[in-house]
C-alpha cells in the first residue's frame, strides 16, 4: 500500500520539528485507533533521527472495558509500571483516532475520578519532564462531528496540522512580550464579563510543538484574582461526556456557580478535588485554518479568534500554584458570528470580535498567517 505523502510529512514534522528528537534519545509513541501506516512512518522518522522508539498501539473500546472492569489495585500497578517506563523517556507522542468520542460516556464518574488521580503522577512526569506532543487522527467520526465529508475533513486536518509554524512563532513573539508586561486582563462577550491578573506569570508560545494543530499563547491567572462570569459558546467533551452551554461564576478565583447542559455531571467533575474549581490556564488561539468548533479540544482551543479558560492544573512553565487531577480547556469564540467579544490588557483593547487590533499584534490575524 502506498502511503499518503502527507502522513510521511506529518511524521517527519513531529519527530524533527515538534519533538526535535536527538540521536540516542528514547521516545514513547502511543497510538489509539490509527492506521498502521502512521506508526510505520513515525518509526522510520525516529530511526532516521538516530533515536529509539517504543511503540504502543491501543483500541478505545478495549481501553474502556479495561477501565470499568479492572480493580483499583491493578490500575495502581499499571500506573506504577507506566511511570517507570516514562522515566526512561526523553520524548512522548500520543495520537488518537477515536471512532466514537463518547466511548467513555457510560463509565461511572467515580471510576473516572479514581482513574485520573491514579494516573496523575504519570501525566505530571510526561508533561513536565519530557518533550511531548499529542494530536488526533482524522476519521469519519471526526468528519461527521465537523459536519464535513471524510475527504474534506482530511484536507482540513493536514492543512491545519501542517501550518507554517516558523512564521506563526515569529508573529507570536509580540503577544508573548505584551502578555509578560500585562497585569490585568478583562474578557467581555455575550453573558461574559471576567477580570483577572496575569502579573508575574510567564506567557508561553505554542507554535508547532506540544499540540498539533498548534497556534496559541498561554499563561495562567493569579489563582485568587478571577472574578465575574464566563459563558462558553462551544461544545466540549470530558471523560467521554459531552457538555454545552457551560457557564461559570467566579469569586476570588473559585468557581462558585457552574451550570451547563448537564449541570450535575459538570459539578461532579469540578468537585474532583479542591483545585478543580480554580483556573490553571488562560490562552489565546490563532490558528488561521481552524475556524469552527468540532468538539475536539486539540482543534477547538486553537480556533482563530478564540480564548480558552481552563479549570484545573496549571502548567509548570506558567505556574500559578493550582494543583488538580483535571485540566479542562473550555473554549469561547469571540468572532461576530459567535456573538463577538473583546480582550483588554491593562485597560487597552487588544482584540475585538476575534481580530487583533493592537498594532504590534496585527501579524497574528488570519490574513497574515495563511
pTM of the model: 0.85
Same domain assignment for residues 98 and 174: no
Domain residue limits at 356: 165-369
Same domain assignment for residues 201 and 339: yes
* Within-domain flag for 36: yes
Same domain assignment for residues 122 and 170: no
* Digit-coded pLDDT (tens) for 183-242: 999 999 999 999 999 999 999 999 998 889 999 999 999 999 999 999 999 999 898 789
Residues of the chain with pLDDT under 50: none
Residue percentage of the chain with pLDDT more than 90: 86
* Within-domain flag for 156: no
CATH label of the domain that carries residue 86: 3.40.1830.10
Give the pLDDT confidence score for residue 145 in this predicted structure: 85
Give the pLDDT confidence score for residue 2 in this predicted structure: 61
* Residues 6+ away with beta carbon under 8 Å from 359: none
Same domain assignment for residues 100 and 179: no
Give the pLDDT confidence score for residue 272 in this predicted structure: 92
Smallest CA-to-CA distance from 221 within 239, 200, 236 is with 200
Domain boundary among 117, 137, 157: 137
* Within-domain flag for 169: yes
Same domain assignment for residues 182 and 249: yes
C-alpha cell of residue 143: 468528519
* Within-domain flag for 173: yes
42, with CB counted inside 10 A (0-12, 13-18, 19+), is buried
Same domain assignment for residues 73 and 187: no
Same domain assignment for residues 112 and 204: no
Phi, psi of 282 (to 5 degrees): -130, 130
Same domain assignment for residues 210 and 357: yes
Structural domains counted in the chain: 2
* Within-domain flag for 65: yes
* Digit-coded pLDDT (tens) for 314-356: 999 999 999 998 999 999 999 999 999 999 999 999 999 999 9
Same domain assignment for residues 77 and 226: no
Smallest CA-to-CA distance from 318 within 151, 155, 202 is with 202
Same domain assignment for residues 305 and 225: yes
* Within-domain flag for 151: no
Give the pLDDT confidence score for residue 240 in this predicted structure: 79
Contact 354, 336 (CB under 8 A): yes
Angle at 100 between CA 211 and CA 12, to 5 degrees: 35
Domain boundary among 89, 118, 137: 137
Give the pLDDT confidence score for residue 211 in this predicted structure: 87
Give the pLDDT confidence score for residue 162 in this predicted structure: 94
Give dist(CA 158, CA 45) in Å, integer: 18
Give dist(CA 137, CA 281) in Å, integer: 25
* Within-domain flag for 144: no
* Within-domain flag for 147: no
Same domain assignment for residues 333 and 191: yes
Same domain assignment for residues 170 and 133: no
Amino acid at each position: 500500500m502506498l502511503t499518503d505523502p502527507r502522513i510521511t510529512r506529518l511524521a517527519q514534522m513531529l519527530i524533527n520539528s515538534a519533538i526535535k528528537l536527538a540521536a540516542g534519545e528514547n521516545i514513547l509513541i502511543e497510538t489509539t485507533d490509527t492506521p498502521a501506516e502512521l506508526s510505520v512512518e513515525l518509526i522510520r522518522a525516529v530511526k532516521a533521527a538516530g533515536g529509539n522508539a517504543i511503540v504502543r498501539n491501543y483500541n478505545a473500546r478495549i481501553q474502556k472495558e479495561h477501565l470499568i472492569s479492572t480493580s483499583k489495585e491493578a490500575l495502581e500497578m499499571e500506573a506504577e509500571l507506566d511511570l517507570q517506563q516514562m522515566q526512561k523517556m526523553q520524548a512522548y507522542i500520543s495520537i488518537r483516532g477515536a471512532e466514537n468520542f463518547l466511548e467513555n460516556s457510560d463509565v461511572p464518574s467515580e471510576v473516572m475520578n479514581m482513574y485520573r488521580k491514579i494516573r496523575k503522577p504519570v501525566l505530571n512526569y510526561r508533561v513536565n519532564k519530557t518533550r511531548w506532543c499529542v494530536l488526533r487522527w482524522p476519521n469519519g467520526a471526526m468528519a461527521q462531528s465537523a459536519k464535513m465529508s471524510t475527504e474534506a475533513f482530511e484536507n482540513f486536518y493536514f492543512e491545519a496540522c501542517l501550518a507554517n509554524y516558523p512564521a506563526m512563532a515569529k508573529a507570536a513573539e509580540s503577544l508573548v512580550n505584551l502578555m509578560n508586561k500585562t497585569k490585568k486582563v478583562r474578557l467581555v462577550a455575550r453573558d461574559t464579563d471576567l477580570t483577572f491578573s496575569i502579573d508575574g506569570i510567564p506567557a508561553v508560545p505554542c507554535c508547532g510543538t506540544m499540540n498539533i494543530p498548534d497556534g496559541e499563547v498561554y499563561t495562567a491567572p493569579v489563582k485568587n484574582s478571577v472574578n465575574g462570569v464566563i459563558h462558553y459558546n462551544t461544545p466540549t467533551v470530558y471523560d467521554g461526556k459531552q457538555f454545552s452551554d457551560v457557564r461559570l461564576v467566579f469569586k476570588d478565583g473559585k468557581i462558585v456557580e457552574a451550570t451547563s447542559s448537564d449541570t450535575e455531571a459538570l459539578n461532579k467533575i469540578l468537585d474532583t478535588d479542591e483545585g478543580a474549581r480554580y483556573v490553571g490556564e488562560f490562552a489565546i488561539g490563532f490558528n488561521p485554518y481552524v475556524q469552527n468548533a468540532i468538539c475536539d479540544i486539540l482543534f477547538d482551543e486553537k480556533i482563530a479568534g478564540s480564548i480558552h479558560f481552563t479549570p484545573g492544573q496549571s502548567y509548570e512553565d506558567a505556574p500559578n500554584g493550582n494543583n488538580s487531577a483535571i485540566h479542562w480547556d473550555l473554549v469561547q469564540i469571540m468572532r461576530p458570528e459567535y456573538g463577538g467579544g473583546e480582550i483588554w490588557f491593562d485597560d487597552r483593547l487588544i482584540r475585538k470580535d476575534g481580530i487583533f487590533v493592537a498594532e504590534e499584534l496585527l501579524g497574528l490575524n488570519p490574513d497574515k498567517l495563511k
